[in-house]
Amino acid sequence: MTPELIHAGLGWPVAGTLAALSFVASFITVAFGIGGGAVMLAVMAVLLPAAAIIPVHGLVQLGSNAGRLSIMLGHVQRAVIPAFLLGAIVGVAIGGSMVVQLPAGAIQLGVGMFILWSVFFRPPGFMRNSSSVTGVLSSFLTMFFGGTGPFVATFVKAQGFDRMGHVATHAALMTIQHLLKILVFGFLGFAFSQWIGFVALLIAAGFLGTVVGRQVLTKINEKRFHLLLNAVLTVLALRLIWSGGTGLMSG
């Protein structure tokens, strides 16, 4: 494989920066429950061509979540998966079929406000009780916004799993969602082949971050874990609200 295929024409400084960030992002997601995917998306939005941001981010996150799932498979709460899968299929199908893209700012505002609600108030019934509804809404949004990990985390958080169950189940649901998203983008004609080497580099770095982060996760007590999870969700939500609001005003 030539160097150009590994850094996808972006150059080694950009590829190296994103590889290091992939390590850090995976560490954050495993150790604190959520947040790495949003960090990756924010930086990719600056460094990658606009048309490649969502599909390439999705492919990297597929590899990252699949790696996390592989080493935590025994902790997955499988009961929520079938309904989520069905909902996710519906969500990506609807999102992929839409011709006009929804305003990114409006989506960011809505997701950010919903996350804040889930942290400081009791999540609404449809999020606590329906993995299928969560699958539809989050998978629809991921076709336009990309980083819906915090949205799915609100559902997982409401189930009251322990910290290992939370991280493992969230990884399983996000693996499903990103896989479906990649299939739809491939069907729509996105050329993933030119990004394979670059994505493989980021996935490898992310897997190392997952291994290190898992060691931290096993040492965090339940109360501290949920405090950290709420703190990370709050910061992400405020960032989404700020980005969405400024985007709508500038637009």
Distance from the first to the final alpha carbon of the chain: 42
Torsion of Cα atoms, 214 then 217 then 219 then 224, to 10° = 170
pLDDT, one tens digit for every residue, the chain (251 residues): 566 666 666 678 888 888 998 998 888 777 776 677 777 877 777 788 877 878 888 898 898 899 889 989 999 999 999 999 999 999 999 988 874 555 767 767 877 787 787 678 766 666 667 889 999 988 988 887 777 787 888 889 888 898 889 989 999 999 999 999 999 988 888 888 888 888 899 999 988 988 888 887 777 776 777 787 778 778 877 887 888 888 888 86
Q: Tell me, what's the pLDDT at 99?
A: 45
Q: Rounded CA gap, 72 and 217, in Å?
A: 11
Decide: 87 and 132 in contact? Cβ < 8 Å: yes
Q: Rounded CA gap, 103 and 94, in Å?
A: 16
Nearest to 148 by CA among 173, 182, 111, 181: 111
Q: Tell me, what's the pLDDT at 251?
A: 66
Q: Tell me, what's the pLDDT at 3?
A: 62
Question: Can you say whether the dihedral through the CA atoms of 200, 35, 239, 59 is positive or negative?
Answer: positive
Domain ranges of the chain: 3-243
Cα distances (angstroms) measured from residue 150 to each of 4, 39, 63, 99, 116: 34, 11, 18, 26, 10
Q: Rounded CA gap, 37 and 59, in Å?
A: 11
Q: Rounded CA gap, 33 and 29, in Å?
A: 5
Decide: 109 and 127 in contact? Cβ < 8 Å: no
